[in-house]
Amino acid sequence: MHANEILTNQPFRRRLPPRLSPLRRARRSLAIALCLCLVPTTISYLTAVAGPSNSNFAIRSFEWLRDHGAAPIASKVESFYYSLNAPATGGPGLRTLPRQSRAAAAGVHPPNIAPVITPALPGEGVWVPSESWSGSSSPVQTTELRSDPSYPRNVAGIAWIDTARTKIALYPGRLEPSVNLPRGAMEVPPASRPRLLATFNSAFKLRDSGGGFAVGGRTYASLKPGLATLIAYADGRVDIKAWSGGAGLPPGVELARQNLPLIVQGGAPNPNLADGPAWGVTVSNAVRVWRSGLGVDAKGNLIYAAADNQTVGSLAEILIRAGAVRAMELDINSYWVSFITYAQPDAGSPSNFLPGMPRSPERYLTPDDRDFFAIYTR
């Protein structure tokens, strides 16, 4: 028998891998555990960015981070970014307003707003109708105002809404409020569009503000005492005030949307417009960024204001100058701030109020991620 035959007939012995050291075993176990932990996180992220949405990929990614424990970090990053890109004071002024070519002033509206920077530009502070199809005098009037001499190129857009001739509606969005309750249309319902005058953004995400949200007999988030609240009553009245009721809607109230404390009370700025837990998990109140707010005047009409490069304090001053006796902050950042008017019935000829508002004027005519308000003729 040859040697190679002897070797071939010997029992085969499988070579075992070398034993891992305790340290290497621990490292391998840790790596496997981390991979297993990342599986649900990855699934959550991919579901968020791949699901139905009208927000772009970057916004959806950033919002996912905010919703999964990174809100304080995200807010600090935003504040740092906006501080680095803060506008310089002074500089050349404007010669014309962004929308100076609109129709001449007409109809029922409050007194024109006195200019902050003189001389006033043509049309500055003068109320003009948002449309002409609803009657002899539009119940939504708009104007523009340079609100701060230190920033002469900043222009605020201001809208006055006659609550005696309009009705306000609040619509939940696809993703906000983020609770498992029926969403409804998530857009202006087609059947309601013949009466549509305007649409505009709502307030902070409930996770960031800690506020309440109730409409249509459903409480999406419990209403909190003391928070600034937009209230619409069944008899058509609208108010903005600190909430003093319970967690849900009382009889005679159709909707309530909360956001932080009032920024205007008794026609004066809230003296506590400083940073702190009462102002939610978002950028610093002193950071200059796109901001929007909603107030009520002494006659119960609504006043909406929005502008770039605003602090909470400067936004409050704009609303006061426009006639607000009480006011609340709405959403911030250019991506979320929208005020859209419709020059024709059936939501025809939609137009963004200010050219710096980047979202499509068709925004609320298709399902939107965030909740929003709509103004209709009665």
Bridge-based pairing state of the strands 268-269 and 339-344: unpaired
pLDDT of residue 50: 73
For the cut 90, the answer to whether the pLDDT of residue 29 exceeds it is no
Inter-residue contact 94 to 152 (CB < 8 Å):
yes
| CA trace torsion 157, 161, 166, 170 (10° rounding) | 60
pLDDT band at 2 (very low <50, low <70, confident <90, very high): low
C-beta neighbour count of 44 within 10 angstroms: 13
pLDDT band at 15 (very low <50, low <70, confident <90, very high): low
CB burial of 312-328 (b: ≥16 within 10 Å; e: otherwise) equals bebbbbbbbbbbbbbbb
Burial of 281 (0-12, 13-18, 19+ CB in 10 A): middle
Inter-residue contact 108 to 162 (CB < 8 Å):
yes
pLDDT of residue 17: 66
Residues shown for the chain: 378
pLDDT band at 108 (very low <50, low <70, confident <90, very high): confident
For the cut 70, the answer to whether the pLDDT of residue 156 exceeds it is yes
Q: What would the pLDDT profile of 173-201 be if each residue is shown by its tens digit?
A: 999 999 999 999 999 999 999 999 999 99
pLDDT band at 334 (very low <50, low <70, confident <90, very high): very high
pLDDT of residue 137: 92
pLDDT band at 111 (very low <50, low <70, confident <90, very high): very high
pLDDT of residue 28: 78
Q: Give mean pLDDT, residues 343-360.
A: 97
pLDDT of residue 223: 99
For the cut 90, the answer to whether the pLDDT of residue 65 exceeds it is no
